A and B are shown apart, each in its own frame.
Chain A
């Protein structure tokens, strides 16, 4: 594969995009899991589909309109949640299906042959273009800069929002910022794992990393590393066997998680047994 990697541009793009995606997943996934926003992220991811459909309908870059949709969705959920007494779970459920429904309609309205949507739904890492790669790089830089420079504030925000508010922090601003970052993250993952599978990459590396560390910073770094390992393994296997990359990555990640947790439990039990 190494020779192929040096030879083929699409493989280089795929390789770089997995690395960029894992960094985002490690950092944002940790925040999403610790703030209990996994469902929200799932909702935002699916709403993105509406934007992608709109992109095809209007003839603009689907990723751009997808990003627009996901940002609107994330801010919309937060706004409506504050204005009304609706549970955010219910709102997420509604946005989730509304986004998908709009996507289906836009695609149906698009003149000519209907485009193939599977690469957006399930990811197609081998078709990542230079332009998309550049977009991912920009997102990554934005996310890393924001999180690194406000790390302590984010940590306090995740741990105890109320206490941070008392200290005069602009909680609403932080919330909107976080939601926009989640929207960006989800869109960034569209090409790697697809809309439907993206949530796994935001949770599995973190769940596994949580087995080994109690430190938020280490948790982020370890999650990035684990994400990269899963993605590269998935890329390798999918390339060798010619099977879909997104699905391969997810299956490898979840099986690794289950195996490691099982082994860890087993060794812990062995140690605790009397000699």
Chain B
């Protein structure tokens, strides 16, 4: 098991260098004069230009610039925002909880609904229920989520007036930031109605962000279950006289979960891509909206830092999923010596 984890970590090293190379190259490949692009100043004097060039380290050879860059990254220096003059890491960490909060609720929605309906469809294979669930999940999988979000806003906020249009919480509440997770902070503040307001604001974004992972998880759970249900050990479990709940819910599901866990882990990338769109639609103050804003305001250090940080987070999550996969799969956990 230990060797298994080490092996997984070793696989991440080249990807880490690949990602840093891409983000390093990104700044150099920007159109026009990189000094002008990065300094965000117009009409620089030649002296100012030379000064900025030295300050940004652009006068050194490229390989040295890259090594410096990786060295800084490894020491937690992800650069400084041209717009706010604050370290990128600080900005990222400030906004990240909002994205995690939304991502976790969306993922919970996707798993809590997706896994059971996937199992149900597999057990009822070929019936009306199976076809209905698979049809709906294909619609979900094909959904342009930015439009789905706007459609839900038109219906729920515009026509029925049930949900707020945007933001994380009503402006009536001023909740002190403790953890950055608003659902927790509102509970800690003890302010009446604040938690409910935060929940209320989460409903639509959660549905929108959770739709595609939900569809994918339902489809993959179904196919994993179908594969497992034809295995001999499922017949053995039935031959023991166990109840269907135990046969499907324990013997089959435990094996199917080995695949499903991997699928769920892979959705983190989907979630981050979805967060860019969802946060833009709902003005959700998270990483996705920040990245878009940085691209538009040409804050390239922020884009670069965001790219590396998101890639590293996804790598970390994938590592955790790999470890979980090892823990849940006895063939890896208990390798006979």
**A and B associate:** no
- B residues with a Cβ closer than 8 A to A are none
